[in-house]
Amino acid sequence: MPHTYEYPRAALTVDCVVFGFDEGELKVLFIERGLAPFKGQWAIPGGFVRVDETLDEAARRELEEETGLGSVFLDQLYTFGDVKRDPRERVVSVAYYALVKLADARTRAATDAADAQWFPVSKPPKLAFDHATIFDTALARLRAKLRYQPIGFELLPQKFTLSQLQHLYEAVLGVELDKRNFRKKVLGFDLLVPLKETQMTGAHRPAQLFRFDPVKYERLTKRGFHFEI
C-alpha cells in the first residue's frame, strides 16, 4: 500500500545505545548487519518509527525485537539529521540510550539475537553509518548524567551492595573514590533502603544489600534537591 505526499519526506528511525555493566566494566551492545549497506559491520540496534507509535514506544519495541530486552531504563539522547548519514536516502534518527540490569537479565536474554554482542566501551568495533558519533555522544551523556542523576542503579541488580555501586562509578567515570566518603555521601541522599538480607560471596564478612527507592527520589526532586557524586 503506497503512500503519497506533496513534498519528499525523510525516513524516521530510532536508534538505541544499550549499556550494561559486567565483569567490572561498562559494556555496550551492537548488532551485526545482515544487509547492505554496511553489510557485516556492527551497528546500534534500531529501526523505523511507525506512524501510530510514539518515539519512546518505537525505541522500546525495537529494543525488544532486536535484543530481547524489556523494561529497561530509556532516555532520549539526541536527534541526528545529517543529510548524508545514510547513503540510500534521507534518514533522521532519534537516538536513545538504555541502561540494562545485565546481571538480572543475563540468564534469559544473554544474547538473544545471535548477531548481537557486548563490547567494552573502551574497545568498540568499527561501526556503520554515523553510529560511532551516536555512540560517543551516548557515552559522554551517560558519564555526565551519572554524576548528577541517580541512575547508576539501573546498571546493577535490583539488590546491590554499596561496594558494587562504588565499583560501578569508578569503572564508568574512570576515577578512584574513597570508600568512607562515598558511603557517607550516597547514604546521605536517603535514596537507598537497606534490605534485611546480606550478600555472601566468598570467605569474608557479608555485605548489606540495598535497593533504590524511586518514590523517595520523586519526592526529593520536587523539593529542588541536587544529587551529585
Site string for a copy of itself, 20-49 (x = CB under 8 A): ----------------------------xx
Among a copy of itself, DNA, none, partner that 163 touches (CB below 5 to 8 angstroms by kind)? DNA
Q: Which of 61, 90, 167, 183 binds a copy of itself (CB under 8 A)?
A: 90
Q: What is the 8-class DSSP label of residue 85?
A: S
Nearer to a copy of itself, 11 or 110 (CB): 11
Contacts of 206 (CB under 8 A, 6+ apart): 198, 199, 200
What does the alpha-carbon distance between residue 190 and residue 70 come to, in Å, rounded to a whole number? 28
* Euclidean distance between CA atoms 178 and 173, whole angstroms: 14
- Strand pairing class (91-100; 73-80): antiparallel
- Residue 195: which of DNA, a copy of itself, none does it interact with, CB under 5 to 8 A by kind? none
φ/ψ bin of 194: left (φ > 0), alpha (ψ from -120 to 50), beta (otherwise): beta
> How far is the C-alpha of 57 from the C-alpha of 5, rounded, in Å?
25
Interacting residue with a copy of itself among 24, 65, 82, 158 (CB under 8 A)? 82
Please say whether the beta carbons of 172 and 149 come within 8 A: no
**List 37, 54, 122, 214, residue binding a copy of itself (CB under 8 A):** 54
Stretch in the footprint of a copy of itself (CB under 8 A) among 5-13, 107-115, 121-129, 204-212? 5-13
Q: Which residues bind a copy of itself (CB under 8 A)?
A: 1-12, 48-56, 76, 78-79, 81-83, 90, 92, 94
